[in-house]
Amino acid sequence: MTVNRRVFLATAMGGLAAAQQTELPEPIRKLRPMLDGVVPISEGERAARREKARRLMAENKLDAVYLESGSSMYYFTGQRNPGQAAILSAKGKPDPVWTAVDPAKAAQALRDLGVATGKVGMEEQVRFGSFEGLRRELPAVDCVSGTPVVAGCRMIKSPAEIALLQRANDITIEAYKAALATMREGMTQRELGANISAAFRALGTGGAAMAIFGQYTAFPHGSIQPQQLRDGDVVLIDDGCNVEGYQSDITRTTVFGKPTKRQREIWDLERKAQDAAFAAAKPGATCESVDAAARKVITDAGFGPGYKTPGLPHRTGHGIGLDGHEWTNFVKGNKTKIEPGMCFSNEPTIVIYGEFGVRLEDCMYITPSGPRMFTKQSPAIDQPFG
């Protein structure tokens, strides 16, 4: 579950400022960069993406797709270019047409492409002001959702994308191993978060993760309440890093000290739910069936039902790629069929307010023969790494 990084980055950075004034813990000092051999996405692959977009535009009767700075612009062009917009044309030149983020100039660029009527797909990160401005400047053009084209391309990852996702996941596991080795009695959640950030930097990339202790692990996005690590506390860390823009998202839940019978039982139940989701995530299955498989394990144990707590209050997983959360989701009502090349988080969660929560999150990619994890699952509550 990638969380809003602004929420916990401020917390992590507060601890980081203090950590920078002292020597880094030995497990982090031993780390070395892990970026050797990383292969960026080629311009040839980006050109192929734009050609696929043209085919999808034709299928969806769109004349163009309008993009502003963000992950989709980067996906198709290799650039983010704040202040500029990129237009992909269904029939004109295959290269992106660049224009200022200004409705009048963007409208003129569309006219130059022969799009004065018809339909223009607006990528979902486009600002509302741009959408309204284009409708005003081109009243004969129908500005509609560009998601069928953009998601239609981005949901299916290429081998090059999967390789970058794999590296991001590998780095995240190494950062987590080093950071969890620094746990000590009295440590604050900010200190552990700062150690995770320092580990990512030592491994050659930017990254962060929220850290939660004790009863606060029941809150899926953590808590800003001050926390100090005590013997027997459940510890949850969640998030990751990026490599060439491609995101990891991993959660590990363990215990500082010896787990109780109750903690072990709930952790084991969570692992069974994660296994059930993995087994259900086969090509041709619906996304909602994966959520149902994981949720059944949890509700059969007496939690829930449905999305009620104690139990699993959120979706079982989300798409991942250039965004930590992207199309599509393992959630009730989503009948999208799973296809090879799709990438998802697998993260059923058991929330017990007032006690603790357990989330195990590993990301996976779909092959023609079934799902494959990017990372080894946790074997046990006191063994967070496979």
> Considering the domain boundaries, does residue 37 fall inside one?
no
Alpha-carbon distance 359 to 237, whole Å?
Answer: 9
Q: What is the DSSP string of 238-271?
A: EEEEEETTEE--EEEEEESSPPPHHHHHHHHHHH
- Do 115 and 230 lie in one domain? The reply is no
- Do 188 and 125 lie in one domain? The reply is no
- Taken as a whole, the chain contains a residue count of 386
Helices 261-280/287-300 angle, 10° precision: 150
Alpha-carbon distance 253 to 332, whole Å?
Answer: 25
> Considering the domain boundaries, does residue 263 fall inside one?
yes
Q: Give the per-residue pLDDT at 33.
A: 98
Alpha-carbon distance 235 to 214, whole Å?
Answer: 7
Alpha-carbon distance 101 to 83, whole Å?
Answer: 5
- Do 217 and 360 lie in one domain? The reply is yes
> Considering the domain boundaries, does residue 382 fall inside one?
no
Q: Which residue in 79, 125, 123 sits closest to 98, CA to CA?
A: 79
> Considering the domain boundaries, does residue 66 fall inside one?
yes
pTM of the predicted model as reported, rounded to 2 decimal places: 0.93
Alpha-carbon distance 70 to 75, whole Å?
Answer: 9
Cβ 275 vs Cβ 293: under 8 Å: no
Q: Give the per-residue pLDDT at 93.
A: 80
> Considering the domain boundaries, does residue 186 fall inside one?
yes
Domain C-terminal end among 154, 186, 205:
154
For the chain, the C-alpha Rg in angstroms (whole number) is: 22
CATH assignment at residue 181:
3.90.230.10
Alpha-carbon distance 249 to 241, whole Å?
Answer: 8
- Do 77 and 217 lie in one domain? The reply is no
Per DSSP, the three-state class of 234 is strand
Domain count, the chain: 2
- Do 249 and 137 lie in one domain? The reply is no
Alpha-carbon distance 376 to 185, whole Å?
Answer: 28
> Considering the domain boundaries, does residue 238 fall inside one?
yes
**Residue 206 phi/psi, 5° resolution?**
-85, 145
- Do 182 and 69 lie in one domain? The reply is no
> Considering the domain boundaries, does residue 380 fall inside one?
no
- Do 250 and 344 lie in one domain? The reply is yes
Structure tokens belonging to residue 300: 């059969």
**Residue 74 phi/psi, 5° resolution?**
-65, -40
- Ranges of the chain whose pLDDT falls below 70: 2-22
- Do 165 and 85 lie in one domain? The reply is no
Q: Give the per-residue pLDDT at 21.
A: 39
Alpha-carbon distance 360 to 348, whole Å?
Answer: 7
Structure tokens belonging to residue 27: 């497990």
Alpha-carbon distance 181 to 190, whole Å?
Answer: 15
The predicted-structure confidence for 17-35, as pLDDT tens digits, reads as follows 444 435 899 999 999 999 9
- Do 360 and 263 lie in one domain? The reply is yes
- Do 25 and 142 lie in one domain? The reply is no
- Do 312 and 345 lie in one domain? The reply is yes
CATH assignment at residue 92:
3.40.350.10
β-partners of residue 255 are 234
Structure tokens belonging to residue 77: 């062009």
The predicted-structure confidence for 207-255, as pLDDT tens digits, reads as follows 999 999 999 999 999 999 999 999 999 999 999 999 999 999 999 999 9
C-beta atoms surrounding 4 within 10 Å:
10
Alpha-carbon distance values, 171 to 12, 30, 217, 320, 331 (Å): 19, 14, 24, 16, 28
Q: Which residue in 283, 279, 319, 284 sits closest to 296, CA to CA?
A: 279
Range of the domain at 245: 5-30+157-373
Q: Give the per-residue pLDDT at 92.
A: 78
Look at strands 250-255 and 326-330 and give their pairing: unpaired
β-partners of residue 364 are 344, 373
Structure tokens belonging to residue 362: 């590993």
- Do 175 and 103 lie in one domain? The reply is no
> Considering the domain boundaries, does residue 383 fall inside one?
no
Domain C-terminal end among 116, 132, 154:
154
Helix segments in the chain, DSSP class H = 5-19, 26-29, 43-59, 71-77, 103-112, 128-137, 147-154, 159-180, 189-202, 261-280, 287-300
Tell whether omega for the bond before 305 is within 30 degrees of 0, i.e. cis: yes
Domain C-terminal end among 154, 169, 193:
154
Q: Give the per-residue pLDDT at 2.
A: 58
Residue 214 per-residue DSSP state: G
Tell whether omega for the bond before 310 is within 30 degrees of 0, i.e. cis: yes
